[in-house]
Amino acid sequence: MQEKRADLDTIDIALLDAVQRDGQATAQDLSAALNLSASQAGRRRQRLEEAGVIRGYRARLDPEKLGLDVQAFVQVQLARHGAKEGTDFARLLRVRPEIISAWTMTGEADYLLRIYCPDLSALNMLIHDVLLAHPVVARVHSQIVMDQPKADAPLPVG
């Protein structure tokens, strides 16, 4: 069952937009942006955190400065679709740090993985020695990212 959508007013929406753009914004920063007192802005942020609308805050790191020069999207098709197979494959996804996100999909592929590796050799090893070697994996299709003309953006909250 899906949880009820949060009841947000225009100030909540503006606050969410502001903290998506700058997770380190102080209550004072938010008060200026929202035309509220710092205490009101802080209470609104706290309420949205407690309601689970704001899940947390993270730093955005530059993959190239970390030596992660290859980004790829990898589609994985499973040979079998039982509960055990899904659990086993999900375990693999959790333990491989190169796989930064994964989605289950409709269509030909069962999973879409977003992967960062230091080089093509490391991506090749991950695909052949890890993914294709997994007993439940039938097929893998990879696409290497050449450029990202639009960076990961904030969610459209308005």
CB-based contact 87:42 (threshold 8 Å): no
**So what's the pLDDT on residue 6?**
86
Residue 98 placed within a domain: yes
Q: What percent of the chain has pLDDT over 70?
A: 98
Residue 127 placed within a domain: yes
pTM, two decimals, is 0.86
pLDDT band, very low/low/confident/very high, at 158 (cuts 50, 70, 90) = confident
**Statement to judge: residues 46 and 69 lie in one domain:** no
Total domains in the fold of the chain: 2
**Statement to judge: residues 38 and 76 lie in one domain:** no
Which domain covers residue 68, as residue numbers? 64-144
CATH number at residue 34: 1.10.10
pLDDT above 70 (res 44): yes
**Statement to judge: residues 127 and 72 lie in one domain:** yes
Residue 58 placed within a domain: no
pLDDT above 90 (res 47): yes
**Statement to judge: residues 108 and 131 lie in one domain:** yes
The pLDDT mean for the chain works out to 94
**So what's the pLDDT on residue 2?**
59
**What CA–CA distance (Å, rounded) separates 117 from 156?**
29
**So what's the pLDDT on residue 82?**
86
User: 87-101 pLDDT, tens per residue?
Assistant: 999 999 999 999 999
In this structure, what are the phi and psi dihedrals at residue 95, rounded to the nearest 5 degrees? -90, -10
Tokens 């052949």 sit on residue: 128
Residue 3 placed within a domain: no
**Statement to judge: residues 86 and 136 lie in one domain:** yes
User: 112-142 pLDDT, tens per residue?
Assistant: 999 999 999 999 999 999 999 999 999 999 9
Q: Is 11 exposed, middle or buried (0-12, 13-18, 19+ CB in 10 A)?
A: middle
**Statement to judge: residues 85 and 116 lie in one domain:** yes
Residue 157 placed within a domain: no
